[in-house]
Structure 1
Amino acid sequence: MSDKKDSILDVKLFKRLFDFTKPYRPLFYGLLVLVLILAALSIAVPHLLKYTVDQKIVLKDENGFLFFILLMLGLTIIEALFQFLFSFYSSWLGHNMIKDIRDKLFHYVLSFKMTYFDNSSVGVLITRTVTDMERIGAVFGESLFDISKDLTIMLGISFYMLYLDWELSLIVFVTLPLVLYATRIFQKYMKRAFEEVRNEVSNLNSFVQERVTGMKILQLFTREQTEAKKFYEINNRHKKAWLKTVWYNSIFFPIAEFLSSITLGLVVWYGGLNVIANDTATPGILFAFVVMIPKLFRPLRQIADKFNTLQMGMVAANRVFKILDTKSQIDNVGKVNVASFKGDISFDNVVFSYVKDEPVLRGISFNVKEGETVAIVGATGAGKSTIINLLNRFYDIESGQIKIDNQPINEVTLTSLRQQIAVVLQDVFLFADTILNNITLKNPEITQQDVEAAAKSIGVHEFIMSLPNGYQYNVKERGVMLSSGQRQLISFLRAYVTNPSILVLDEATSSVDSYSEQLIQTATEKITKDRTSIIIAHRLATVKKADKIIVMDAGEIMEQGTHDELLSKESGYYRNLYDAQFLNGNVSELE
C-alpha cells in the first residue's frame, strides 16, 4: 500500500506538533547542538584508538602511550556527560509539551456542546487526555531527538570509514541497505500494529470505566459473569494487538543482529588479510572498524525501536488533533455581559432536535414574567428538561428565539448567561471533595461564611454540621458517602449560594426522602420568592403553588394556567395527569 496511512511520518501532523516547541526553541536548538557534539565524540574515540595502535603499539613506542589511553578515557567520560544532558533535557522538553497540549485539549473539551458528550465515550476521552498524551510526549522526549542523534552518528561514522579505507567501507555498506530495507518494512507494519493497539486500548478503557461506574447495577442484576466474559473478549483482542508488535520485533532484531555479525566477520577477514599482506589496511584501521561497526549498526536497530515510539506518538497525536479539530462549540459570539437579569423569559416558536429530523420541541412558545414561579409538567420524554438545556445554551436551537429581558440569549456572553441561571438537577453530581468545595466549586468569591449564612437561611446548616468535620466532610467520588436526599440538599445550597437571577429546579424532589423533601420545599419557598423560577416536575404535588403551570407532551405545549384553572378543565391533559397520580388515595397530597 502506498497511501498516506502507511507513510512513515505525516509531515502536516508533525508540523502541528512542532508548533508546541515554540516556547522552548532555545532548548530545542541546544539539543540539536548536543546531537552534533555527540556525533563528533563518537568518531573521536575510534580515531584515537587507530592512532594509538598504529603509532604506539605497532611501533612499540611507549612515549605518550598512557596519555592517549587517558585521553580516550576522558573523551568517553565527556561523551557520557553530554549523553546525560541530552537525555535529561529531551525528556524535559517532551513532558513540558505534554503539559501544554493536555492543557489545551482539556480547555477545549470544556467548551464542547453537550451533544459531543452525548455521543462520545468517557473512556475514549480519558485515553486521549492521559495515555495518548504520554505517547505524544515520547515523540520529542525519547524518539525524535534520539533518531536525529543516531542518524547523525551513523552519517559521521560512514564518512570517517570512507576516509580510512574505502574497500572495508564497501563491505560494510553492502549489508547496510539490507538492514535499511528490513527497517522500512518493519516500520510500515509496526505503524499498522500500533494503530490497532491504540484502538483496543480505547475500547478497554471505555469498557472498564463504564462497568466500574455502573458496578451497583451489575451486581444487583447478577451480571458479573456476563461482563467478565465481555471483558475477556476485549482484553484478548488487546493482547493479540500487542502480540503483533512483539512478533514484528522478534523477526526484525535477530535479522539486524545477524547482518551486523556477518559484516563484522567479513571486515575482520578481509582487513586481516590486507594487514598480513602489508596492503592498504593497518592494524589501527582494523581496530577502528571493529569499534565503529557496532556504533553504526546498533543505532540502526535503536532507530527502528525509537521509530516504534515515534509512530505510536504520531498515531496518538492524530487522535488528539481530531478532537482539537472537532467543531462542537456553542458559538460564543455574544457581546453583552449581564451582571443580573430581571427575569423575564420568552420562548418564541422554538424548534429543537437532538437527532436530525427527530424533533424534541415542536415550535413551543411561552412567557415567564419577572419574579414568577412557573412549573413545567408532563410525562417522561415530553421535553421538559430540554427547555432548561436550551435556556443555558447547552445546545443550539434549530429555529425560533429565546429571550431573557427581551435580549436574545445568543447575544449574551455564555459566561454571564450561565452565571445568572442556577440549576438543581434530579441526578446530582458531587466531586470527590469536601462539602464546602462542592458548594462553592472553589469560587474564590464565595467564602465559607457566605455558605454557612445561606445554609442557615434555607435550613440545611444543622444537617451539614451533623456530619463529621461539617463543611470539610469529604463526600468521596460522586458523593457516595451521602444519601440521595443529602446530595440533593447540597446541590440545592450550591445553586442558592450563587444568588442567581433565575432558578431552575429540574425534578429536584423526585428521589428524596420525606424529611429532605420537607427541607427542600421550605427552602424552595424562600429562594423562589421575588425570583424568576422554573420548576420541572413529574410529581404534581410539587407544583400546585406555582404562578403558572405549563403542561407538555411530545414536545408540544398542551395547556397553560394555574393549578385550579387546569383542574377545572374536564378531560383536560393536566386533569388526566392529576387523576392518574392522585385519585388512588393520594388526593390529600395536593390539598
Structure 2
Amino acid sequence: MNYFKQILRFAKPYKNYAVLNIISNIFYALFGTLAMVSLFPMLNVLFDKTKQLNIKPVWTGISNAKDYLENYLNYFVTQKANDGHDDVLIFMVVLVICMFLLKNFFGYLAMYFITFLRNGVLKDIRNELFKKITHLPLSFFSDKRKGDTIARITTDVQEIQGSFLSILELIVKEPLMILFTIITMFLISSQLTLFVFIFIPVSGFIISRIGKSLKKHSDKVQTEQGHFLSIIEETLGGLKVIKGFNAEDIFGQKFKDSTLRFYKFSNKLLNRQNLASPTSEFLGILVIAILLWYGGQMVLNEKSLEAGLFIVYMGLAYNILTPAKAISKASYSVKKGNAAAERVLEILNTSSPIADKPNAKTKTDFSKAINLNKVSFKYEDDLVLKEFTIEVPKGKSVALVGQSGSGKSTIANLVTRFYDVTSGNITIDGKDIRDLTKHSLRNLIGLVTQKSILFNDTIKNNLLIGKENATDEEIIEALKIANAWEFVKILPKGINTNIGDSGDKVSGGQQQRLSIARAVLKNPPIMILDEATSALDTESERLVQVALENMMKNRTSIVIAHRLSTIQNADEIVVLNKGEIVEQGKHKDLIDKKGVYYKLVEMQSFG
C-alpha cells in the first residue's frame, strides 16, 4: 500500500468521479442486500406462511428492527390480499426484479465513473513518466536498457491501472456489500452470524499465505519483460550488423532465453494468482456447509428460526462469497501492482542532479565570450578533463582536436550542460551556466552531432524542432545554407517527404546536412559541432563542410574535429591529450611548431 499512497496523488484531479463511484457502490451494496431480503416475503406467499396482520406495526427502536420489518411485510401482504388483489405473488416477483435491477444499475454506474478515474490516472502517470524521462540527465540512462524504460511506461503503468481499480473495490465496493449483508444476517439471527465469524479469520489467514510471494514473482516478470523488449529494440536498431555477421541465431537464442525465463516466471505468478479464486470459493462453501448443518438444527429441532428466513439467510451468506472472492483477488492484484508501482516510482522519484536552481536566471542574448575556467570532470572514477581552461570570444571559432578519449566530446556535453562539471566552472558573458535555466542556456546553442539524430517524420517536421513556428520559406532558406536544398527539392513531396526511421530513406551525408539545416533554422548565437563530418565519405564531407562554413559565418563556434582538414580556418585550435591542453594556436603556427598537432596532420595526410 506504501507505493499506492504516492500513486493516489494522480487521482486528485478525478476525485469527483471517485465520489460518484463510492455513492454508486453504496447503493449497489444496499440494493444487493435488499434483493436477497426481498425473497423472504415471496417465499412466505409461496409457502402460505404469511401471518395475517391487519394492524399497522409501530416502530419501537433499532433493537426491534427485525420484528418491525417482518411485521410490516406481513401487514403489507395482508392488506393487498384484503383489497382483493390475487396477484400478490406477481407483486412480490416484480419487487424482487426491481431490487436486482437497481443493484445492477448502480453497479454499472459505479464502473462507469471508475472508468474515467482509471484511464485518467493511466494517462497522467504516462505523461508524468515521459516528462520525467525527457528531463532526467543523460547519465541516468547510461546504465539502463531502453526496453526496460519502455516496459515501465507501458506494461507497468497498465498493471498499476488494474491494481488501482482493485484497491477501490478493496476499500469501498466489496466491504460495503459484506457490511450490509452481515448487518442483515445479524438482524435475522445473531446466534448463527456469530457462529460464522469463528471461521472467517481462518479463511483469511489461508488466503493471505498464498499471496505473500506474489510481489516477488511479479517483479521478476516485469524485469524480464523489460529485458526482452531491450533485445527487440537493439535487434531492430542493429539489423544491418546482425545480418552482415550472420548473427540471427545468436540474437534469436538471446530472445528465446529471455522469453523462456518470462514463461517460467509468468507460470509461477499466474498459478499462484489463479489459486486465489478456487481457494476462497472452497473455504466459502465449507462455511456454507457448516451453516446448513447448524442452521438446520435451529429450524428443525430448536424451532428458533423460520424456514423462509433461513433460506434468505443462506442466500445472504452465499452473497458474501462473491465480494470475499473479489477482495482476495484484489489483494493479490495489489501485491502484483505493488511491484509495478515500485518500478514506475523509481523513475518518478529520481531527482535530477542537473535541475535548475530555485533562483536560476533566464539569459536571452550572448555578447562577450564563453569561458571554461579550470574545468575538471569525471564520468565515474578517473578524470577525463583536468583543469581545462579556454576562452571562446563572440564571433570566433575554436576547434578542439586530439585522439579518441582525450575529452573533446565531454567539453560539448559540459557546455550544453548535459553533465555538470566536477570542479571549476563554465561561464557565458561572465555568468556561471549553473545559475542559468537549462532552457534559456540551450536556446543560445545549436548542436550538430557526429550521428545525425533524425525522426521518423517529414523533413519539415524534423527541421521545425529547431524553430517551431518557422515558415516554409524559412525552412527552404535553412536547407539552402546547409547545402541540402539541391536534393530535397527533387524528392517526391519536397519538404513534406517522410525520411523513415532515423532518416534511413536518405544517405548519411544528406542526413547530416538536414541536421545542419535544423541548427541553422534555430539560428542560435553559439554553435557546437561534435565531429560533424567524421562519418562521411569525401564527397559528402565536402558538401557538408561547405554547409558548416555557411552556418558558422558570424557565429561563435566550438568545433570538435576528427578530420583536421575541416578546421584549418579556425581562429584557435586547441590540442588535447588525456584531458589536458598540450598545444594551442592557429593552424599555421602549430604546423611550424612540428609538435603533437603536426604529427596528427601528418598521420591523416599519410592515411
TM-score, normalised with respect to structure 2: 0.90
2:17/2:116 contact within 8 Å kept:
no
Q: Deviations over 1:255-299 (max 9, x none)?
A: 322233333333334434543447022222222133223221122
Give 2:374's aligned residue: 349
SS in 1 for 2:379: strand
Q: What one-letter code is carried by the residue in structure 1 that aligns with 2:202?
A: L
Structure 1 residues 443 and 64: CA distance shift in structure 2, 3 A? farther
Would you say 1:116 and 2:140 are equivalent positions?
Answer: yes
Would you say 1:66 and 2:71 are equivalent positions?
Answer: no
Higher mean displacement: 238-247 or 513-522: 513-522
TM-superposed CA distance for 1:22, in Å, is 1.9
Q: Which of 7, 29, 40 is residue 39 of structure 1 equivalent to?
A: 29
SS in 2 for 1:327: coil
For residues 143-292 of structure 1, the aligned pairs below 5 Å read 143-145=167-169, 148-277=172-301, 279-292=303-316
Structure 1 residues 331 and 269: CA distance shift in structure 2, 3 A? closer
Q: Deviations over 1:423-475 (max 9, x none)?
A: 11011111111111111128433222211122224432121112221111111
Question: 2: distance between equivalents of 1:442 and 1:152?
Answer: 57
Question: 2: distance between equivalents of 1:324 and 1:282?
Answer: 60
Structure 1 residues 251 and 25: CA distance shift in structure 2, 3 A? closer
2:148/2:223 contact within 8 Å kept:
no
TM-score, normalised with respect to structure 1: 0.92
Give 1:314's aligned residue: 338
Would you say 1:50 and 2:40 are equivalent positions?
Answer: yes
TM-superposed CA distance for 1:250, in Å, is 4.6
Would you say 1:577 and 2:600 are equivalent positions?
Answer: yes
Count of residues in Structure 1 that have an aligned counterpart in Structure 2: 572
Q: What one-letter code is carried by the residue in structure 2 that aligns with 1:98?
A: L
Give 1:530's aligned residue: 554
Question: 1: distance between equivalents of 2:290 and 2:446?
Answer: 80
1:111/1:330 contact within 8 Å kept:
no
TM-superposed CA distance for 1:170, in Å, is 4.3
Question: 2: distance between equivalents of 1:432 and 1:85?
Answer: 43
Q: What's the C-alpha RMSD, in Å, of the aligned pairs? A: 2.1
Q: Which of 150, 154, 157 is residue 130 of structure 1 equivalent to?
A: 154
Higher mean displacement: 56-65 or 346-355: 56-65
Would you say 1:363 and 2:363 are equivalent positions?
Answer: no
Question: 2: distance between equivalents of 1:212 and 1:343?
Answer: 46
Higher mean displacement: 530-539 or 316-325: 316-325
Percent identity (aligned): 32
Question: 1: distance between equivalents of 2:108 and 2:466?
Answer: 42
Q: What one-letter code is carried by the residue in structure 2 that aligns with 1:580?
A: M
Gaps of 5+ in 1: 1-8, 585-591
Question: 2: distance between equivalents of 1:273 and 1:404?
Answer: 91
Q: Which of 101, 110, 123 is residue 86 of structure 1 equivalent to?
A: 110
Structure 1 residues 223 and 505: CA distance shift in structure 2, 3 A? same
Structure 1 residues 507 and 131: CA distance shift in structure 2, 3 A? same
Structure 1 residues 258 and 336: CA distance shift in structure 2, 3 A? closer
Question: 2: distance between equivalents of 1:435 and 1:410?
Answer: 34
Q: Deviations over 1:197-246 (max 9, x none)?
A: 22222222233322332232222222222222222222122111111123
Q: Which of 361, 373, 381 is residue 336 of structure 1 equivalent to?
A: 361
Question: 2: distance between equivalents of 1:201 and 1:314?
Answer: 16
Give 1:497's aligned residue: 521
TM-superposed CA distance for 1:342, in Å, is 2.9
Q: What one-letter code is carried by the residue in structure 1 that aligns with 2:37?
A: H
Structure 1 residues 256 and 82: CA distance shift in structure 2, 3 A? same
TM-superposed CA distance for 1:21, in Å, is 2.1
Question: 2: distance between equivalents of 1:309 and 1:545?
Answer: 66
Q: Deviations over 1:454-507 (max 9, x none)?
A: 222443212111222111111122112121111101101000111110112111
SS in 2 for 1:505: strand
1:423/1:504 contact within 8 Å kept:
yes
Give 1:589's aligned residue: none
Structure 1 residues 252 and 531: CA distance shift in structure 2, 3 A? closer
Give 1:474's aligned residue: 498
For residues 514-529 of structure 1, the aligned pairs below 5 Å read 514-529=538-553
Higher mean displacement: 498-507 or 315-324: 315-324
